[in-house]
Every structure is written in structure tokens, then in C-alpha cells.
Chain A
Amino acid sequence: MAYYEEDDLARFSEVGKHRPDLFEKFMAWYQACQEDGALSRREKALIGLAVAHALQCPYCIDAYSQSCLEAGSNMEQMTEAIHMASAIRGGAALIHGLQSHNSVNKVSM
């Protein structure tokens, strides 16, 4: 058995079983975030896709891949969003090189 089950995405609401009040509050917030606002649904779906990749959450990747298509994005745009997430992750790792440099400098003559 795989650690992640594709069908679990449709069972998400079961997470609310023991504290439905908290889950309902989460869902209301989550749904409100998706609506057209200062950002369009399409832009929000691309942000969702990028964050899903940064988090490497397979459920979120499935959900936001579909959302992006249904918001009218194409693979070129979605791939750019994925590169944005990956580049920032890469940059975030790389800038810690300075931390390493600082540590080395502190103990070096």
C-alpha cells in the first residue's frame, strides 16, 4: 500500500470527524480564499499550485492541477508557476550558504 491514496482527496471531510466545528471553520476560510477578489480565481489557482509543489503535497498537486485547468491556465503557465515555487525553494536553501560561511568564518583564522 502506498502512503498516499489518491481517493483520500475526496474523503478530506472525514478529517473533521472528531472536531467538526474546527473543520467547518477551516472550510469556510478555505473556500473564501478561493473566490475572485483583488486576485482572480486563475491567479489564486496558480498560487495554490506553486505552494502545493513547495509543500510537495500530492493531494494539493492533484487538486490545484485540476483547478488551474478549470480556471483556464495551460501547461506552459502552470509549469512557470512550478518553477517559481522550485526556484524560491532552491534560493531559500542556497542563501543558507551564507549561514555556513558565517559559521566557518567564526571558527577560522
Chain B
Amino acid sequence: MSKALPVVQEKSNEPVRAVIDFDEKLAAHGLELRAAGVETLQVNTGKLCNQACKHCHVDASPARTEIMTRETVEQVIVALRRFRISTLDITGGAPELNPSFRYLVREARALGAHVQVRHNLTVMFEPGQDDLPEFFRAHEVEVISSLPYFLAEQTDAQRGRGVFEKSIEALRRLNGAGYGTEGSNLTLNLVYNPVGAFLPPPQSSIEQDFRRELRKRHGIVFNHLYTITNMPIKRFLDYLRRSGNEERYMSRLIAAFNPATVEGLMCRSLVSVDWTGRLYDCDFNQMLELAVAPELPQTIAEFDPAKFAARRIMTGSHCFGCTAGAGSSCGGAVAANS
């Protein structure tokens, strides 16, 4: 595992500050945040990662030891089987580094679930992982990969020196396996997020740039590009504080609040599971240890989608990150730019 990347030691345990309460902002627009169902179970298999990206809301790194056990993985599979949840979204850290990762994928696919993996590309070059493109292909996994920009300078500034070059090689291998190519049913989606304290550009516009430049410079193709806003949590919050940008960034998010994003927020359709099996409304709440509403079952072992389908969502100031501009979710923008 790469040890060359810096591990940021600073921790932001104090939540980001905002001058306006998120729920009050919703109420001012006549809105209330409640789930609309449970279509996706998003499982965070642990904080171990071969990278230590500067913006990581998980604070993942090679030094982290928190990882989901086989017993908890079995509980996830039981929930998928029992409740026929249509989509399993696997994230981390680098989920592939969890010894039970491939077992989870195989079992979920056997149950007929759509499986998507938040794959950081470079993990493919870790020991025992070089067959990942073939494994993904064999199980028709949807691959969703972060690539903050189509140039090395910006990508390496966020994700570590040399990450861009490795990412390009990994994308070539995924294309070689049929991912993202014309006529293939193997989906390769990329994720853009800003390299700094600013909002993402319009998704369709930057997608065109990525498509043109990655094809021209590297011969790489992909299906869609998702834009995701950097969340003021953990390492990105540390960065905001260190660089004196916290107040300005939060003002930017609040000023760009777009009520049209609320309907499509990911928390309305997914339930997030942490490495110990505890439940959250999203992966960001998970990192803030902001559990699902106390009246609900708190663990995957007790999970029952009927109780979660119209639940109230737990919120905080960080939620302004998902409602700014065109909005932000695990599937990218959720509304037209305001």
C-alpha cells in the first residue's frame, strides 16, 4: 500500500458554523426534509484507503483501521435479501480493501441488486487488486470514480502526487474491459469535485470538457460525469479553516441555496450504513456521527425500510452543501442551476 501520501492529522470535530439553521431555511421556503422511500442501501465498508485526499469527508487513509467485519457484511446481505432493496452503493475508504468486499458484491448480485462501487481507480494497483476490471465486469458492477479534473495539476493537488497518472492508466484498463464504451452495458461514471473552496460548474458543461479532453489527450471514454460539492466536513473543513475560507465558503453555500434541489436530495432515497452497522441518513451524517432519528431502528440488524420510508431526515449546517446551486448528491447535480 502506498505510504508516500501525506496523512492529514488535523481533525475537525467541531461542526461547521453557519449563520442560518438549515431546517429554518427549509421552513422559510415552506419545505420539510423527509424521505420518499428506500431505493438504495449505501454501505461504507470502512475508512481504510490507499489514498489520503485533501478534501476527504471520511478522513480515510492508509493509516485507518476501521473496517466492516464479515458478520456486519452478512447483516447487510440479509437486509438486501429480506427487503429486496434495488441498489447497493458501496463506498469507503477504498471498499475493495475490505476482505469481504468481493463476497458482498457477489452475494448482492446473486440477489439481483444493482451494485455500484465508489472506486478510487488507484486501488487497482495495490497488491491483489489488478484483476478488479475483470471482477467488476463479471458482476456487471457500475463503477463510479473520482477524477476531480482532466489535468494532472489539479487532480494531484487534491488526491496526491502521481494519482492522476495512475488514474488514467486505471481508466484505460476499465475501458479495455468494456467499461464506458459504446454499445457496452458496463457503466463507468466519473465524479468531478472542485479543487478548492468554490462551487462546481454546471454538470453538463464540465462533462463536455471532460469528454472532449480525456478522449483527445488519453483516448478515454466514460458514460456520465457527476458534479459533487465539497462538504464542509473533516479534511475539507480543516482546509477551509486553515486557509481562512470557512466563513466565506459557508456564505457562498447559503447564498446559493436552491429550494428546487430538495426534492432530489439523496437522503430522501437512501439509507447509509457505517462499518459497525449503524444507520444514518447519508454518508456525511455518518462521518459526523449524526445517526438517524432516535425513534428509528439504529442498526442494519434491526433495519426495516417501512419505518424509514417517510422518516424525518437529520440535518446540520453541512446540508447547505447539498442544496447549493444545482445541488449535489452521490449521483451528481439534482436540479438546474439557479
Contacts and interface: CB of A to CB of B under 8 A. Distances in A.
A72 B202 contact: yes
Interface in A27-65: 40-42
A71 B201 CA distance: 5
B198 A66 contact: yes
A42 B200 CA distance: 12
A74 B149 contact: yes
Contacts of B151: 74
Contacts of A10: 251
Contact of A69 (B196, B202, B209, B325): B196
Chain B, interface size: which category? 10 to 19
A67 to B, nearest CB: 9
Contacts of A24: none
Interface residues of A, number: 10
Nearest to B325: A70
Nearest to A6: B248
Nearest to B251: A10
A13 to B, nearest CB: 12
Interface in A1-25: 10
A70 B201 contact: yes
Interface of A: 10, 40-42, 66, 69-72, 74
17 contacts: A10-B251, A40-B205, A42-B205, A69-B194, A69-B196, A69-B201, A70-B194, A70-B198, A70-B199, A70-B201, A70-B325, A71-B201, A71-B202, A72-B205, A72-B206, A72-B209, A74-B149
Given A72-B201, A72-B202, 6 more contacts: A10-B251, A69-B194, A69-B201, A70-B201, A71-B201, A71-B202
